[in-house]
Amino acid sequence: MIRFEDLVEKVRASNPDADSELLRRAYVFSAFEHKGQVRHSGEPYLVHPLEVANLLAEMKLDVVAIAAGLLHDIVEDTQTSIERIRELFGADIAHVVEGVTKLGAIQFSSSEERQAENFRKMLLAMVDDIRVILVKLADRLHNMRTLHHLPEERRLVIAQETRDIYAPIANRLGMSKVKNELEELAFKYLEPKAYESLRQRVEGRRRATEGLIEELTKTISAKLTEAQVPVMHIDGRIKRLFSIHQKLKKQKIDLDQVYDFMALRIVTQSVKDCYAALGIIHQTWSPVPGRIKDFIAMPRPNGYQSLHTSVISERGFPFEVQIRTAEMHRIAEEGIAAHWKYKEGRVGADRDEQYFLWLRQLLEFQQEVRDPQEFLQNLKIELYPEEVYIFTPKGEVKALPRDATPVDFAYSIHTDVGHQCVGARVNGKMVPLRTRLRNGDIVEIVTAPGHQPSRDWLNFVVTSRTRNKIKHYIQGEEKQRSLELGRKLFEKEARRFNLNIRSLTDGPAFAATLTEYGYGKADELFAAIGYGKVAARTILTKLVPQEQLKEAPESGIASVVRRVLGPAEEKIKVRGFDDLMVFRARCCNPIRGEKIVGYITRGKGVSVHSASCSNVVNLLYDPERRIEVEWDKGADTSPYTVRLSLHVEDRKGILADVTSKIAGINTNIRNVEARSDDDQTGRIDMTVEISDVKHLQKVIKSLRSVDGVVDVERASR
């Protein structure tokens, strides 16, 4: 068991000016408060805060953090209040203890909703004072080290929480030493069988591997000396069990195929020496293609820097080499804790700012998110940063999460670039916007002024920033659009009965109706009508006596006016491929130029059908809800996908003839399927991109001209 004197010595070694008197008072107070309490191990409780303080001292944190480590369980486990701690030890220490106590009260394994709320609190605590989370991590690390004393049920809960939350947070803060130990311990308790069998297999190879490490270290050392590349130290290690386990599971490979089962680490004095050493390594052994990673030029978002490469030894044994400077090494191991001690006056807090940036952004974007499921999903993406590096055509690098798309990339450049993005060139080629980007892709975004984000993008974008930007935009648009729509619908309905809109909305009856429906303003009511939540007719019945709501025959004057000026009533315009409140019905999938009709649909706005849609023809829709619609000329010109079904003679080469005919008239094919029926005939189903009804007619006509094509039909979905 560690003694308090050892702790003070450790603190003094890295910080001679540390206030050891403060630490002593915290220690004595903690000993007094926890007196008589024991841990599951049977040891006096005091061992725990002392060990936690020791871990914090090893991270070389300040006395506030270490004292808070000594005091961290007092408020939770004794009668003493946080006010008392504030009186005795000051506001800073009390603040950290309070934060840790609050985090301790959080149950992460509870229902999803509470979990999301708890995450939010935890993140807020972190942004507030990072020492809260550092003390909590030290607390969790010591609890994990002594987890075997706990009953199994508790062990599993704590280990799961460690794997899901604390290890990823340590990782995000760059604290790989802490993260690694937390992950290994969680693996041991969560999957004891897998852990034990892997441990034995790795153990079986340990002796041979260690011999090899020694041999390779000597070789490298000699080569580097010969080339006059100064090296601070070289060490070798066997990959951690948990990361081997993950690798085997993910890549479905055998232990022998793990390239970085064994890794050598070379620590140099300068960046220049890192690259020099890399050159020497590649001259000595053959590098494995595609495994060279330059995290010095492109640090990971958590600040990690290093050169990685995998090479094959003379005996055909692959191993990984990591090369970094001493400073990079320290940051790789300790992350934010490595920066912490500089904060008090000496060096600027810029690096810390970087660590916090992702957190601040996350919180900022999360403030609007009400759905806990969605919050958790966003958070998961942020906490498990498997990122890809993407280049702008000018060579600028952006780190994006794995599976990011050109749309995510566009939003990472600027919100407006995202909103107006219509296409992307990846490595010089145009690709669909839903394409998953890969490491090293050079991406150029094509924008069109005035273009709007599409709801469809939400199905494939990856970063929460992008999602939130798109949603925010769509919600604003939707509101605007449903307001416009609702007002038109109301006006149209009023006109049917020759009612004056001005006098309808000015009177007290209108105000009373707003109150009855719980709307503050007329606009809110109109928006609700536009959404289909309330029918315009229902509102009218509130405003005028029933007998006025009989369809009046058009008055003489009105019909003259109409004849002179054309129809007074404005049609609802359909903007095209991706309209927000006016959407194309799935049953007939109408395309630009086709004759269309609209129906108000509850809570969705207006659904637009082809006038020839069988559902419309068969009067499946309530004519009361029918409204006039027309295509908005000059709006969105993105292509529609249309499915065509071809009845063909079953002859060789017909598929090739059909596809080349389509390509010949500049039409994109999304998908083709061909099959033959029994009677010497076949069927080709294809999905093509069509801009409007004229284009469709042209495609059908030229398909019919192909030799062997019997018939072409537009397939309903």
Do 97 and 86 touch, CB atoms closer than 8 A? no
Do 205 and 239 touch, CB atoms closer than 8 A? no
Residue 334 φ then ψ, to 5°: -105, -15
> Given the complex with Mn ion, which of 37 and 671 has the nearer CB atom?
37
The binder of Mn ion chosen from 62, 73, 183, 579 (CB under 5 A): 73
Encoded one letter per residue, x for contact with Mn ion by CB under 5 A and - for no contact, window 259-288 reads ------------------------------
Per rule CB under 5 A, count of chain residues that contact Mn ion: 2
Cα gap 483→476, rounded to integer Å:
11
Cα gap 144→255, rounded to integer Å:
27
Q: Confirm whether 76 is a catalytic residue.
A: yes
Cα gap 477→602, rounded to integer Å:
19
Cα gap 461→463, rounded to integer Å:
6
> Given the complex with Mn ion, which of 73 and 273 has the nearer CB atom?
73
Report the site for Mn ion in 526-565 (rule: CB under 5 A). Answer: none
Give me the helix-helix angle, 130-145 and 176-190, nearest 10°.
40
Q: Confirm whether 77 is a catalytic residue.
A: yes
> Given the complex with Mn ion, which of 166 and 285 has the nearer CB atom?
166
On the CB side of 300, CA atoms within 13 Å amount to: 22
> Given the complex with Mn ion, which of 73 and 493 has the nearer CB atom?
73
If one asks whether residue 139 binds Mn ion (CB under 5 A), the answer comes out as yes
**Catalytic hit among 77, 191, 403, 650:** 77
Nearest alpha-carbon partner for 564 in 572, 576, 556: 556
Question: Which range touches Mn ion (CB under 5 A), out of 138-146, 214-222, 261-269, 673-681?
Answer: 138-146
Nearest alpha-carbon partner for 358 in 400, 315, 305, 420: 400
User: 644 exposed, middle or buried (CB, 10 Å; 0-12, 13-18, 19+)?
Assistant: buried
> Given the complex with Mn ion, which of 71 and 400 has the nearer CB atom?
71
Q: What tokens were used for 172? A: 């995000």
Closest CB 40 distance from Mn ion, rounded Å:
12
Using the Cα atoms of residue 235, residue 236, residue 239 and residue 241 in order, give the sign of their dihedral.
Answer: negative
> Given the complex with Mn ion, which of 75 and 606 has the nearer CB atom?
75
**Per-residue DSSP letter, 594:** S
Do 287 and 311 touch, CB atoms closer than 8 A? yes
**Residue 428 backbone class (left: φ over 0; alpha: ψ -120 to 50; beta: rest):** left
Q: How many residues can be counted in the chain? A: 717
> Given the complex with Mn ion, which of 139 and 579 has the nearer CB atom?
139
Q: Hey, what amino acid is at 195?
A: Y
Q: Hey, what amino acid is at 564?
A: V
Q: Edge-to-edge, what's the strand order for the sheet holding 681-690?
A: 669-676, 681-690, 640-649, 709-714
Question: Which range touches Mn ion (CB under 5 A), out of 137-145, 223-231, 469-477, 508-516?
Answer: 137-145
Cα gap 437→441, rounded to integer Å:
7
> Given the complex with Mn ion, which of 73 and 478 has the nearer CB atom?
73
**Catalytic hit among 76, 506, 516, 649:** 76
If one asks whether residue 491 binds Mn ion (CB under 5 A), the answer comes out as no
Q: What tokens were used for 473? A: 């935009």
Closest CB 419 distance from Mn ion, rounded Å:
48
> Given the complex with Mn ion, which of 33 and 320 has the nearer CB atom?
33
Q: What tokens were used for 120? A: 């939010």
Closest CB 284 distance from Mn ion, rounded Å:
49
Cα gap 370→368, rounded to integer Å:
6
Closest CB 56 distance from Mn ion, rounded Å:
12
> Given the complex with Mn ion, which of 139 and 408 has the nearer CB atom?
139
Closest CB 73 distance from Mn ion, rounded Å:
5
The full DSSP string for 406-444 is: HHHHHHHH-HHHHHTEEEEEETTEEE-TTPPP-TT-BEE
Report the site for Mn ion in 191-220 (rule: CB under 5 A). Answer: none
Sequence-distant (6+) residues with CB within 8 A of 102 are 121, 125
> Given the complex with Mn ion, which of 64 and 582 has the nearer CB atom?
64
If one asks whether residue 51 binds Mn ion (CB under 5 A), the answer comes out as no
User: 255 exposed, middle or buried (CB, 10 Å; 0-12, 13-18, 19+)?
Assistant: middle
Question: Which range touches Mn ion (CB under 5 A), out of 134-142, 166-174, 381-389, 463-471?
Answer: 134-142
Question: Which range touches Mn ion (CB under 5 A), out of 66-74, 200-208, 332-340, 535-543?
Answer: 66-74
Sequence-distant (6+) residues with CB within 8 A of 558 are 498
Question: Which range touches Mn ion (CB under 5 A), out of 2-10, 61-69, 136-144, 628-636?
Answer: 136-144
Question: Which range touches Mn ion (CB under 5 A), out of 133-141, 175-183, 205-213, 480-488?
Answer: 133-141
Sequence-distant (6+) residues with CB within 8 A of 397 are 298, 389, 390, 391
Closest CB 143 distance from Mn ion, rounded Å:
6
Nearest alpha-carbon partner for 275 in 263, 283, 286, 312: 283
Report which residue's Cβ sits closest to Mn ion.
139
Q: What tokens were used for 74? A: 């007092």
Catalytic positions are: 76-77
Residues near Mn ion (CB under 5 A)? 73, 139
